[in-house]
Amino acid sequence: MTSAATSTSSTSPTETAIHSTEVGDSGARVVFLHGLFGQGRNFTQVAKALRPEFRSLLVDLPNHGRSEWTERFGYAETADLVAEHLRAGFAADGPVHVVGHSMGGKTAMQLALRHPDLVDRLVVVDISPVPSGGTGEFEHLLDSLAGLDLDAIERRSDADERLADPIPDERVRGFLLQNLRSADGGFHWQPNLALLRRDLPDIGGWPEIDARFDHPVLWLAGERSPYVRPEHEDAMRALFPRTRLATIKGAGHWVHSEQPEAFISALRVFLGAAAS
């Protein structure tokens, strides 16, 4: 059986187009929502590994990837935009599974709470429904990217060299440079860096919501990450009473890239149970 990888975009009534890519052409439907600085294609290898039992939609969240920019950031607003995109296509025939990491995990939680008819099973990856705090590292990364003189860049390697001092971790630098695009003889950043920097407190925050999602939820934590803590459990279970917490050994915050086999296995077991 062949599998498809197709790209689509939809425009909501608020005129914000969301770009997404489908991977696979059969099986249960799964939506992936990435974190800050990410884009849907970060989950490409995971989506391919889930075939043929699962068909995946890799979403570029607003202000990231090939999706359009907004005037402000808010989790409720972002979840509503994703809901509109799903209703127009991938979830038109009924609820889908949703997997969200970090910022995408908070968006996924808001999506499930605000639009429960769209979500069957939910997977929240290394984030909690509480203010995250500790945004200093992200401030530094955003400032470093925004401070890069793109007019002085002739090739991608130039950008990598100039960012080596403020961002010495080669893996982090490589991940961030996936957002650098060349066009019309120059380079530009795909993410809306100015908005993300201005609204970083909101990205690190969590909006209060009076709702509950009563479907099964898998809460995946990285063993070496600080974003899921015992003191967060009460908040999580108040909103998602059917939560199952699992810790991925050897993983930090980037669970899906640091321990992909364990991550994929956890998804297969949890999402596969919906069909049994």
Give the domain range for residue 177: 136-197
Distance CA 60, CA 48 (A): 17
Say whether pLDDT at 11 is over 50.
no
- Active site residues per annotation: 102, 253
Q: Are 113 and 219 within one domain?
A: yes
- Give per-residue burial for 255-273: e unless 16+ CB within 10 Å, then b: bbbbbeebbbebbeebbee
Q: Are 78 and 212 within one domain?
A: yes
State the average pLDDT for the chain: 93
Q: Are 108 and 215 within one domain?
A: yes
- Amino acid identity for residue 177 in this structure: L
The CATH number that applies at residue 79 is: 3.40.50.1820
pLDDT band at 43 (very low <50, low <70, confident <90, very high): very high
Distance CA 256, CA 263 (A): 6
- Give the pLDDT score at 135: 75
Q: Are 250 and 118 within one domain?
A: yes
- Give per-residue burial for 151-165: e unless 16+ CB within 10 Å, then b: eebeeeeebbebbee
Q: Number of folded domains in the chain?
A: 2
The answer to whether residues 31 and 56 touch, using CB atoms and an 8 Å cutoff, is: yes
Whole-model pTM? 0.93
Element (H, E) at 23: strand 17-23
